[in-house]
Structure 1
Amino acid sequence: MNIPNILTVIRFVFVPFFAYYLFNERYTVAVVLFLLAGVTDVMDGLIARKFNMITSFGKLADPLADKLMQLTALTILTIQGIIPLPVLIIVVAKESFMVIGSIFIYKKVNFVVQADWYGKFATVVFFLAIVLTILVRSVGFANSYSNIVVHIAVIIAVVSTLFAFFMYSIQFRKLTKKSN
C-alpha cells in the first residue's frame, strides 16, 4: 500500500466521524473533517501522479471515497432539511448510473473508467457548495441572504453534476460502440 492509497483509506475512515458530527449539528468539527478529506484527496492525487504511484486500487477507491463523503453530507443535510430532497435524488441517481456503467465497461472492455476534467470539476463545485452550506451553519450565519447564496451554490453544483453525467454518458456510448 503506497502513500496515496493510505490517504484514500484515511478519507474512508473520516466518513463516520464526519457523519456523526454533521448529524449532531456540530458543524464546525464537521466542516473541518470535510476540508481535511478534501486536502487528502488533492494530496493523494498529486503524489500519485508526481511519483508514478497510480494503482488500480487508487483509480477505484479514490472517487469512491469522494462520493461516499459527498453522499453522506448530502444525505444528512437533506435529513436536516437544509438541502432539498431532489438534489440528493439527482446525485444518487447519477452516481448509481456511473457505478453501474463503470462496472459494465470494465467487464465488457476491461477498461477502468477514470475521472475526466468535467467529473473533477463537478466534484470540486459540489465540495465547495457543501463546505459553504456547512460553514453558514457553523458560524450561525443562516439568514435569507446566506440561504440564497447557498441555494445558488447548490444549483450550480447540481448543474455541473448533470453536465458531467451527460459527458460521461457520451464516453460510455463511445466505449460500448468500440467493443461491438
Structure 2
Amino acid sequence: MNIANVLTIFRFILIPYFIFVFFSNSSNSLYLSVIIFFAAGFTDILDGYIARNFNMVTKIGTVLDPLADKLMLITVLSCFTLKNYIPMFIIIILLIKELSMILTGILLYQQNIIIPANIFGKASTFLFYISILFIVFSKVLGIILLYSATLTTLIAYVNYFFIFMKKRQM
C-alpha cells in the first residue's frame, strides 16, 4: 500500500464524516460539510499527482480512486437533494451513469481491462465541484452550473461508452 492509495482510502473515510456534519444541527453545517467535500477533492488531486509523478500507479489505485470520487459525489448530491438544495433528476441521472459505470468497471477489471478517466469525466467532476461551491453562496448560479455539470457528465458517459465498445473489439 503506497501513499497515493492511502490518500484514496482516506477519501472513503471522509464520506461518513461529510454525512454526519451535513445533517448535524450546527449552524454552519453546510459550510463545514463543503469543506470536507473539498478536502476530499484536494486529496484526489494530491494522490493522482503522487501516483503519476513518483511511479506509484497501481491497478487497485486505478479502480479505487474513481470509485472514491463517485461515492463522494453521489453522497454529496444525495444529501443536497434530500435537503432540497438541488432537483432530484440530477441525482437520478448521476446515479444511473455512475452505477452503470461501476458495474461495467467491475466486469472490465475482471478481464484486466481498465478505462481510465478522460477529459470529459474530469471536466464533469470539476463542474460538479464548482457548482456545489456556488450552491452554498449563490443557489441560482450553482444550479446553472449544476445543469452544465450534468450535461457534461452525459457527454462523458457517451464518450466512455464508445471507449468501452472500442476496447471490447480488441
TM-score (norm 2): 0.93
Higher relative contact order structure (alpha carbons within 8 Å, sequence separation ≥ 6)? 1
1:93-115 C-alpha deviation (Å, 9 max, x unpaired):
000111122223334x4212211
Corresponding position of 1:111: 113
In structure 1, distance between residues paired with 2:128 and 2:143: 12
Corresponding position of 2:57: 54
Q: Please, which runs of 5 or more residues in structure 2 have no aligned partner?
A: none
Q: In terms of Rg, which structure is larger?
A: 1
In structure 2, distance between residues paired with 1:32 and 1:47: 22
In structure 1, distance between residues paired with 2:17 and 2:126: 21
Contact kept in structure 2, 1:105 and 1:176, CA below 8 Å: no
Contact kept in structure 2, 1:106 and 1:113, CA below 8 Å: no
Corresponding position of 2:133: 131
Corresponding position of 1:140: none
Instruction: Report the AA paired with residue 158 of structure 1.
Output: T
Corresponding position of 2:92: 89
Corresponding position of 1:6: 6
Corresponding position of 1:22: 22
Structural mapping, 1:63-102, within 5 Å:
63-102=66-105
TM-score (norm 1): 0.88
Which moves more between the two structures, 21-30 or 79-88?
21-30
Corresponding position of 1:167: 159
In structure 2, distance between residues paired with 1:177 and 1:40: 35
Q: Please, which runs of 5 or more residues in structure 1 have no aligned partner?
A: 137-145
Identity of matched residues, %:
38
The structure 1 segments of at least 4 consecutive aligned residues displaced by more than 3 Å after TM superposition are none
Corresponding position of 2:44: 41
TM-fit CA distance, 1:84: 0.6
Aligned residues: 167
